[in-house]
């Protein structure tokens, strides 16, 4: 059975505005893991207390700010400062993963040149933070609907960057929603990515709603994940169209059988 981690920035809103209240609600609903996006708008001490009190694991958070560091001459200090702050918060919260974005790239560069720039930046990042105990994961995102202009919109590009960096401290986040929106075949992408996949996100297609609201066969897709060898947690990063407990019912039932 896969460990499911609801994103409490969007789920369990019925419990209140604070992440701590939503963590407690997730625990009461039987979840032993959650994820979040940013830490900038959160009371870290309250969140840490809620995690400790409930025994819930925080599986992932986002690097901040989402710096566009692909442009030549970009000042990387805000990126490194934000990442250092995020890693400190991750360590405080017992979180093992931070998710990185690729930025937009430089319009005057070919794609291969932009990707080389990512390799340079992330290689330096690993050299600086590789001993932190927090794994860095590059997330490719779709440009067709949600993230126009994003450089890493193909799973294969993120995999290529990670393979070039070749560090146990660096991998990729594979998001089934983004991948399917981009027209990719999850089985092929996961086979090529192998053990570089350090985390998985899911949402249904179309609409980015809860699993069961769209056209994705979730029994088949979780079986694809299993066949590819992925056994880690799955982040529920969707926008619910029904109350949270109703929205998680389908994927919880499917995950029990895979």
pLDDT of residue 107: 76
Do the Cβ atoms of 2 and 222 come closer than 8 Å?
yes
Please give the Cα distance from 109 to 94 (Å, whole number). Answer: 39
Q: Where are the alpha helices (DSSP H) in the chain?
A: 19-28, 44-54, 77-93, 111-129, 155-165, 176-181, 186-193, 218-227, 244-256
Q: Say how many CA atoms lie within 13 Å of 219 toward its Cβ.
A: 3
Do the Cβ atoms of 234 and 2 come closer than 8 Å?
yes
pLDDT of residue 67: 73
CATH number of 211's domain:
3.20.20.150
Please give the Cα distance from 74 to 124 (Å, whole number). Answer: 15
Please give the Cα distance from 164 to 214 (Å, whole number). Answer: 36
Mind listing the pLDDT tens digit for each residue in 89-146?
999 999 999 999 998 887 788 999 999 989 999 999 999 999 999 999 999 999 999 9
SS3 state of residue 204: coil
Kindly state the tokens that stand for 19: 């992440």
pLDDT of residue 82: 93
Pairing of strands 4-6, 57-58: unpaired
Q: What is the mean pLDDT of residues 50-56?
A: 98
pLDDT of residue 257: 83
pLDDT of residue 65: 81
Q: How confident is the model at residue 70 (pLDDT cuts 50, 70, 90)?
A: low
Number of domains within the chain: 1
Which residue segment(s) compose the domain that 39 sits in? 4-256
Mind listing the pLDDT tens digit for each residue in 149-186?
899 999 999 999 999 999 999 999 999 999 999 999 99
Q: What is the mean pLDDT of residues 31-57?
A: 97
Mind listing the pLDDT tens digit for each residue in 179-227?
999 999 999 999 999 999 999 999 999 999 999 999 999 999 999 999 9
B/e letters for 129-148, b = 16+ CB within 10 Å, e = fewer, are beebebbbbbbbbbbeeebe
């Amino acid at each position: 059975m896969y460990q499911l981690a609801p994103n409490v920035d969007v789920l369990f809103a019925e419990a209140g505005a604070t992440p701590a209240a939503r963590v407690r609600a997730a625990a009461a609903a039987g979840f032993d893991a959650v994820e979040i996006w940013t830490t900038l708008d959160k009371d870290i001490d309250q969140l840490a207390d809620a995690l400790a009190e409930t025994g819930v694991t925080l599986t992932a958070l986002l690097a901040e700010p989402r710096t566009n560091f692909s442009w030549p001459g970009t000042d990387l200090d805000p990126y490194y400062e934000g990442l250092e702050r995020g890693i400190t918060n991750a360590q405080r919260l017992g979180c093992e993963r931070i998710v990185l974005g690729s930025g937009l790239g430089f319009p005057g560069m070919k794609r291969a040149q932009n990707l080389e720039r990512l390799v340079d930046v992330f290689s330096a990042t690993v050299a600086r933070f590789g001993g932190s105990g927090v794994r860095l994961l590059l997330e490719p995102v779709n440009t067709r609907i949600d993230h126009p202009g994003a450089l890493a919109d193909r799973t294969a590009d993120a995999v290529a960057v990670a393979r070039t960096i070749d560090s146990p401290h660096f991998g990729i986040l594979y998001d089934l929603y983004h991948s399917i929106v981009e027209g990719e075949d999850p089985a092929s992408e996961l086979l090529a990515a192998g053990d570089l996949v350090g985390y998985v996100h899911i949402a249904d297609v179309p609409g980015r709603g809860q699993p069961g609201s769209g056209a994705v066969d979730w029994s088949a897709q979780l079986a694809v994940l299993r066949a590819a060898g992925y056994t880690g947690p799955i982040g529920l990063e969707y926008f619910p169209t029904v109350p949270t407990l109703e929205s998680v019912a389908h994927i919880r039932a499917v995950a029990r059988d895979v």
